[in-house]
Amino acid sequence: MSSESVSIMLNGKEVTGKAGQTILQAANEDKTFIPQICYNPQLGALQTCDTCLVEVNGELVRSCNTLIQPGMRVATESTYVREAQMEAMSRILENHELYCTVCDNNNGNCVVHNTTELLQMDHQKYEFREKPYALDMSHPMYRYDPNQCILCGRCVEACQDLQVNETLSIDWNREIPRVIWDQDVPIDVSSCVSCGHCVNVCPCNALMEKTMLGEAGYMTNIASDILEPMIDLTKEVEPGYREIFMISEFEAAMRQSRIKRTKTVCTYCGVGCSFEVWTKERKILKIQPTVEAPVNGVSTCVKGKWGWDFVNSKDRLTKPLIRQGDRFVEATWDEALDLIAEKLGAIKEKHGPESIGYIASSKCSNEDNFVFQKFARAVMESNNVDNCSRYCQTPATAGLMRTVGLGGDTGTIKDIASAELVIVLGANVAESHPVLATRVKRAHKLYGQKLIVADLRKTELAERADIFFRPKPGTDLVWMSAVTKYIIEQGWHAKEFINERAEGFDEYVASLDKFTLDYAAEVCSVPKETLIQIANMIHNAGSVSMLWAMGVTQHLGGTDTSTAICNLLMVTGNFGRTGTGAYPLRGHNNVQGACDFGTLPSYFPGYELVTDEKVRARYEKAWGTKLPAKPGYDNHQMVEGIEKGEIKAMYLFGEEMALVDANSNYVEAMFGNLEFFVVQDIFFSRTAQFADVVLPAAPSLEKDGTFVNTERRIQRFYQVFEPLGDSKPDWQIFQMLANRMGANWNYTHPSEIMAEAASLAPLFAGVSYERLEGWNSQVWPVSPEGESTPLLYQEKFGFPNGKGRLIPLEWTPPFEPEGYELHLNNGRILEHFHEGNMTYQSVDITHKVPGIWLEVSPELAERRGIKDGALVRLTSPYGQVEVPVLVTDRVQGDELYLPMHTRKLEETVNRLTSSYFDLITHTPAYKEMKVNMDVIRADGERPLPDENFRLAIRNPQVGVKVEEKWKRPGFEPVAVTIQKEREQRG
């Protein structure tokens, strides 16, 4: 949309809009009411409802699809317009029965209800017609009522072109049209990924969350055999809409006193979706996103929409636990904290401050993490503090810091969506970062964005890609370096950009000598022609964004491969402009924030080195104590330190280290060697079983705080519930312990913690809770005046001289144990998060994915004589597991894929992974493992249930296909109907 202004006359008043805006958009900005049943700002003009008709120069036009023109005269209140809008609304109500008082959707946000009322309709022009279709209650999370469906197409547009799952459509060719799933199958066995988009945008009660049914209203929890006569009676007694609305408005107002709506930020992946949580007492009625949400708008995924049952789980920790022999006994907070203070204090005194390790949480808030690192450094005098970014994204951060200066995404999701070319490496975006993936899928489907995917598996984005190729494991650095070399040899590199904004070009070019296309084709098993095609696509693209995740970082050369990505972008000038940049996709909701706010062994908050005397002096002055100058141990070094006798105790919060650390057999053995171990969590996790004291913490819905998403975007979340039982917010626990050990902290709210962080770390100088109020967000670096920096490096890079750095690299071949034949890959799936400690608490999500599976290629399955449901034993040098088989062409040849969504020790992939690590950051090489596979049982029950979307067939189309509605026999444009009626009236 252009920034050029355009003036129109709206109801006789001059209104200024922007070139490229529609009449409806300009009117909405002016707060001039135009009915808009089918319109949603994120979905655009669907043209199905006709309620937005307005008069332009004496003609009726749809305001949702008519661009403003200079001098245009628009009438929204004329008799002609009112007649047209009433006709359009009457047609909608022919498909929708108004029984608002006993409807669970009567909560002030029903678009059909509100529009009917605002139009002051007082009667039904066309009698409601019941449709010959049954209610679809098959899906565990939501239901579809064809009788209430107005066929606006919002759900279809959201599914087809926003989520781009391409499941829903309207069958306009039926005698009585309806929304269908795939080829008209029950919802539960369709390709629906349970994202919730359709329910989120439904303007009435046709699509509703099952958790709302019978819960929202005062009179809605009534059996259907009683409810239906009540509806009929209501219509007989109150034939006019105005009377119905008077009662329903009163009832809706009563609901406001017991239905609470609270903004929160999702606690799963790093995309950073925000939405309202609707609650009644401790019951979660629904998750409702809004167009104001800065990252996701109306979008959600299966976990963010439905995965909150863990908050009220009976398995929650609610009291402190102290080990007594082989069992744990409940204790008071005083007993638990006194014991921790005594034990940690004694170990520190006897063995020194560096004998204790501190593991922070990427699931907890910035304020929790800030206070935790302050406790470690200021109270316990140690820099031995780290978080789970060590397991995934630290190599990406290191690669960015080497080349561009700051360890975060260089732009935002809007930049990714606007890129002419997106390259995805080692990232299953559609399952690990689903809402972000929708923006790529939408841009690729509707706006011509090109897509290249390099992955071992045929992921959803790989299926959609213009180029998809499968390089050998651990060889991404080689093919990228070869493509970069080829681009330079063709003279396609960004010469002016490099001369003005980069350094080290000549040395870098010299380092590329061996990375010829022939060498890359041999090492990577990628055809030379494919590499040339990739180079041509990069050259021809005006903007390139590169996305990567653990398929890149979890290798011996993870940092170098991340650096190679930045080198390629630097050589082609793809930094500092809209649509360009480097995007390591953060896996956890606050793994970025945990690092940003100081839970790293070498950095204070804001990535200032602990070795910097001036920085240290600033913190020492603020905290009133001497701080350690030597960088501490990271996660990997702490575990090794236990074996060496250097680490005697650990304090861990919000981290399932026993399952997610590589070579978990070894890690658990090390936990057993600790003299004292504190675990703080919301569940009694596998890690907690090794603890001496277990402290019950509060999840995000039970406290205030902030998270930082993968874009560097800081967002507030608000307390929804009181902490369950005796559980407490993590920052409060740390403060209570710190004060027992000599501190005098007096934080009363997380806003005070953020204010302290902002006063100390220049990166967050202008961050404040006031500026983060509501749906507002800030993207660091934030100036003291509060100005965000969504797009980095527009003028200079993050080094003193402002220049980016090209780094010569060597390829590190992956670790391959001898005597093992099959490569084992691993990662996440859409429905469960990580090992599933939270998502398995959801019965509905577990219905979709009840357990683990091993993906085996059809060719390997045939060779081994196994089918779906076979049980196999995988053996590596470090352990073994037994898992059921799913035969799929998502993998090929001797490639296996074992997801991580299990809490059963005999199935968890990290029983097989090694302790080898990235040579620079110590991130485990999770993706570098070979195994042998023994068949225990040749077939059995398929581990993927019939109700899983992976087994269904999608039904792709563009949009709602409203033209098919207009072609239906008997369809008459509203303007024609109004003209006929006027003629009849004379």
For 98-107, 515-524, 645-654, which range has the lowest pLDDT when averaged over its residues? 98-107
Considering only CA atoms, which of 558, 587, 523, 658 is closest in space to residue 916? 558
Residue range 314-391+590-746, CATH number: 3.40.50.740
332-343 pLDDT per residue, tens: 999 999 999 999
15-37 pLDDT per residue, tens: 999 999 999 999 999 999 999 99
Instruction: For the chain, give the mean pLDDT.
Output: 95
Q: Which residues, in sequence order, are bridge partners of residue 882?
A: 873
Share of the chain above pLDDT 70, in %: 98
Asked if pLDDT for residue 216 goes beyond 90, the answer is no
Q: pLDDT-derived band of residue 983, with 50, 70 and 90 as boundaries? A: confident
pLDDT, greater one: 123 or 841: 841
Burial of 171 (0-12, 13-18, 19+ CB in 10 A): middle
670-729 pLDDT per residue, tens: 999 999 999 999 999 999 999 999 999 999 999 999 999 999 999 999 999 999 999 999
The number of helix segments (H) and strand segments (E) in the chain equals 33, 37
Residue 749, C-beta contacts closer than 8 angstroms, at least 6 positions apart:
704
Q: pLDDT-derived band of residue 237, with 50, 70 and 90 as boundaries? A: low
Considering only CA atoms, which of 635, 639, 637 is closest in space to residue 600? 635
194-214 pLDDT per residue, tens: 999 999 999 999 999 999 999
Q: What pLDDT is recorded for position 671?
A: 97
Q: What pLDDT is recorded for position 487?
A: 98
Q: What pLDDT is recorded for position 223?
A: 77
Q: Phi-psi bin for 272: left (phi > 0), alpha (psi -120 to 50), beta?
A: left
Q: What pLDDT is recorded for position 186?
A: 98
Q: What pLDDT is recorded for position 985?
A: 82
Q: What pLDDT is recorded for position 249?
A: 75
Asked if pLDDT for residue 235 goes beyond 70, the answer is no
Report d(CA 946, CA 941) in Å as an integer: 11
Report d(CA 440, CA 271) in Å as an integer: 13
pLDDT, greater one: 894 or 3: 894
Contact yes or no for 543/421 (Cβ under 8 A): yes
State pTM to two decimals: 0.96
Compute the average pLDDT of residues 896-918: 96
> Domain coordinates of the chain in residue numbers?
314-391+590-746, 393-584, 822-951
Residue type at position 312? N
Compute the average pLDDT of residues 766-795: 98
- Classified as helix, coil or strand, 911 is helix
948-977 pLDDT per residue, tens: 999 999 999 999 999 999 999 999 999 999
Asked if pLDDT for residue 248 goes beyond 80, the answer is no
- Classified as helix, coil or strand, 807 is coil
Burial of 293 (0-12, 13-18, 19+ CB in 10 A): buried
540-567 pLDDT per residue, tens: 999 999 999 999 999 999 999 999 999 9
Q: pLDDT-derived band of residue 233, with 50, 70 and 90 as boundaries? A: low
Residue type at position 65? N
Q: What pLDDT is recorded for position 217?
A: 80
Query: H helices of 264-393, where?
Result: 302-306, 333-351, 366-374
Residue 922, C-beta contacts closer than 8 angstroms, at least 6 positions apart:
390, 394, 634, 635, 636, 637
45-83 pLDDT per residue, tens: 999 999 999 999 889 999 999 999 999 999 999 999 999
Q: Give the tokens for residue 532.
A: 């040339």
Asked if pLDDT for residue 238 goes beyond 90, the answer is no
160-185 pLDDT per residue, tens: 999 999 999 999 999 999 999 999 99
Phi, psi (rounded to 5 degrees) for 383: -100, 15
Residue 196 per-residue DSSP state: -
Share of the chain above pLDDT 90, in %: 91
Query: H helices of 420-475, where?
Result: 429-432, 434-446, 460-464
Q: What pLDDT is recorded for position 647?
A: 98
User: Which class would CATH give 393-584?
Assistant: alpha beta
Contact yes or no for 899/827 (Cβ under 8 A): yes
Contact yes or no for 37/87 (Cβ under 8 A): no
Q: pLDDT-derived band of residue 127, with 50, 70 and 90 as boundaries? A: confident
Q: What pLDDT is recorded for position 545?
A: 98
Preceding peptide of 781 cis, ω within 30°: yes
Q: Is the dihedral of CA 658, 660, 666, 667 positive or negative?
A: negative
Let me know if domain 822-951 sits in CATH 2.40.40.20: yes
Report d(CA 644, CA 629) in Å as an integer: 23
Q: What pLDDT is recorded for position 1?
A: 59
Contact yes or no for 419/583 (Cβ under 8 A): no
Q: pLDDT-derived band of residue 246, with 50, 70 and 90 as boundaries? A: confident
Asked if pLDDT for residue 239 goes beyond 60, the answer is no
Asked if pLDDT for residue 892 goes beyond 90, the answer is yes
Contact yes or no for 493/572 (Cβ under 8 A): yes
